[in-house]
Structure 1
């Protein structure tokens, strides 16, 4: 009996099994495996629903719903890659390359390549980007024995620092030290360090407090964020005799330690250097001069108010911070975001024109990426479409150079929105899948869920109800697994509107 190989998996047509390149057997229903085999046999060609029903369910009377269910299961198995393309009213195509060999003969004498049709160039590039960025090369000469020795793959969350030093001189520690450590850590091709204000959003979704966090909150933070590493710190001691306790949480283990130094920033450097190794960066970290916007305690208060939905109370605080210190780019950006949300484009423009030159002058790529994103939104809603696209492309270039996976996703989603406006729906679909790939690198369930919701909205415009239902089902599955209650409500509303 023949065996097929595709995407680093082996499909046994007799045993009806799928085995990964590492030898793990995947869970798959026999009928779903039979359907997969039919698609593999005709790789690159359209297989109609009628043919699938005839070849897979010839022993029973069923309707087309069984096909939809099996296709959904296969897309989960091969998630992250557009392996199966749906052609409305025609059928399905298996896109990736396939190799077949007879299991009873030596592989070297029986291998043949199944004829396939060329991929569209852009689709191929997206598949390469999504798969290569999310893949860690294995080194057979060194096999880590513990989870702590395995480089981080996914997102990294640094929690607010627990401050045990009395006095107003250290009121900045909770968010300021957290932000300084985040600035110090390098994002890599496999791991992304989440920015401070985004971490606070994660804590809100997890139902965790912004202060007095403890170990009981860690599982819910892992669940809603998809993080691979969570860093908790506590500063104690006294001025010029500091000690920084830390706990590094992985999903199945934790590592604790304590550092001592008379200089709080030296403690940050020491912890950052240790964490950089876990992120796969073996090079020594270069010295930097910290410029943390979060040392302004008022900014922390403003962010707390925004997360509680109290925008009217947060806006004057942010305005006050910016007026006293225009270089506080986080406050500038949050103010711009607020003005765009309430459709005050003139105020948004005013602060964009002020903030972007400052970000360039300070060489602050992290904030410049975000400002380019919001500038793109401002230009788009004011009808300046060419300039909007230019701003997004500039932001993407900086994000790629800095391995900022989160904003590569957001900026790509914005490009997809632009494509939808000009009715380039096929391009929009590819861009949304590309953005979903960036979210997968971070293992961010919220981002991936939102990508599927975007794809469901796009499918509605394409008048492809089957594709819309598949996208909503994928979004629902992630949301239910990760307890994303707000997204579950949103998905249910969309589903109910289809009935």
Structure 2
């Protein structure tokens, strides 16, 4: 059900509130969504507190305060006058709403489509402008300043990245090109000076780019953000010049390689040398759309991501990374057949040294989808097909000696064998995956294999053995302060206790996971934990 109230549009199916006239989106907490739905569907009567508690918190004993909190959240989001309180009795929805019918939805769809086409046209114009202006830029080289690298890695292993990464970029660009570059100390002093002048106490650098350009007398400010996981990184960059911001994203296995690829991008942009890196994309249109799409994907705005990735593929239809992210976005919106078909199409494209890694990923992702998104009635057939794709991924990983993806392939094979009840073989695959993960600098990748080993123990009713694996997995996650991995371990433990009938203990553990998700301020992690409380399956590719 979808409806409008004042300047907001509420989607009860997706659990989202959109503010019209802006791009603001607010995800509704799972329990609060259930309370809101029950009230909106019964506007002609008072819904008692007990009825709300019985329907929303039917599986756990709670205090009335949890209901009060949900009512407060609804009023904060939609207005204080939307719900009337009947003391000691309950609540009634009193605000007028405007249901959105199918014709309105179609109109909205057409509006979105027109906006997407307008965006596509704008990006093409911007791309052409960048091409023309880049040629002009080559005649007069800009002075460059790198900002500290924003570190969004989910661990403490990369705490060195902001300043050392910034210094690496500064030194490498100065050494490899004739571009004038502001040194690290001057940039840091300028940033500190501007922040001291800011009486509002705003620490973000985004609003200070122009002042920073003036202070340092530079024409190009490079802003970067590192995200992803060890051995599988993304370096997002924005080039701020007088022609406006230009965005891009680089995929790499190491921080140093990603930084060097960015230096190559800048060198190529100003015709300082030939580009040699194979992991980045430089089409003005496709690069911008791909980078924006990845950002939307990370914020769980999958519909926007789908439009952006499709736009990127207009210029570069063989852009395998964009095809992979588009497939992930389609899967996250339950368009599984389209996702798998797209990935299968990627496997038909030329298999050269630049695409082998993406072919590996495509095989692995198809297998992953077949394992975790069961669709057909013949589950055994699905798992057999998944095993075929995972085996192909394993072969590609082994031929290129890609240890991370060898480990990933072993983990998925272990899952398949666990689901088939072949516990001994599953254990062998998972222990082999652990050996690879233990050789990495970021060792918290071990947690996935340890959780799977715990699930095997649970299936064999060896609860103490399962607890041992969970404890080991949490120890590994805690050592690196890796919040996603901590959450996966806690939710797996919560699943075990819920299956054992210890609901109170299960909810307590899941609450710990929710606290960590909120501390990490990750929409994906918060949604995952809330789905556990709502007892609804959530299929998400991170």
TM over 0.5: no
Give 1 or 2: higher helix fraction.
2
Of the two structures, which has the highest relative contact order with CA contacts closer than 8 Å and spacing of 6 or more? 1
TM-score by length of 1: 0.44
